[in-house]
Amino acid sequence: ASGTASRKVFPSAEAAVADIRDGATLLVGGFGLTGVPDHLLAAIRRQGASDLTVVSSNVGTDARGLGVLFQGRRISKMIASYVGENDLFEAQFLGGEIDVELVPMGTLAERMRAAGA
């Protein structure tokens, strides 16, 4: 890592995601399509990291939220509570391209809280 991760404010979305490497695990906030870091997700897609494990409440839609990473086939494992409105995710899951762990939302929130403790 270049050491930029210790900074609290980055000059751009690209700078914020520069240290994300293939195989990383990402915790992505938002609920539905509200509060989703769309600019950061687009920057991750442009940056090129792949084989990502993503933890989020949902998988977004084809064009919003995590959909931009599914477009680029960047996610290899998804841990989520709701996966119902993204056709790209569905096709990749049914095609055996993505491992999925469905977790009730309360349990997902508690696992994240415990991991940060």
Distance linking the first and last C-alpha atoms of the chain: 24
Are 63 and 37 in contact, with CB atoms under 8 Å apart? no
Question: Residue 1: inside a domain, yes or no?
Answer: no
Secondary structure string (H, E, C) spanning the chain:
CCCHHHCCCCCCHHHHHCCCCCCCEEECCCECCECCCHHHHHHHHHHCCCCEEEECCECCCCCCCCHHHHHCCCEEEEEECECCCCHHHHHHHHCCCCEEEECCHHHHHHHHHHHHC
- Read off the pLDDT of residues 7-56 as tens digits, 9 standing for 90 and up: 689 999 999 999 999 999 999 998 888 999 999 999 999 999 999 999 99
Question: Residue 102: inside a domain, yes or no?
Answer: yes
Question: Residue 2: inside a domain, yes or no?
Answer: no
- Read off the pLDDT of residues 82-103 as tens digits, 9 standing for 90 and up: 998 899 999 999 999 999 999 9
- Determine the structural domain holding residue 38 and report its residue range: 9-116
Provide the domain count of the chain: 1
Question: Residue 3: inside a domain, yes or no?
Answer: no
Question: Residue 4: inside a domain, yes or no?
Answer: no
Question: Residue 71: inside a domain, yes or no?
Answer: yes
The pLDDT, as a whole number, for residue 31 is 86
Question: Residue 72: inside a domain, yes or no?
Answer: yes
Question: Residue 103: inside a domain, yes or no?
Answer: yes
Output the domain CATH number for residue 87: 3.40.1080.10
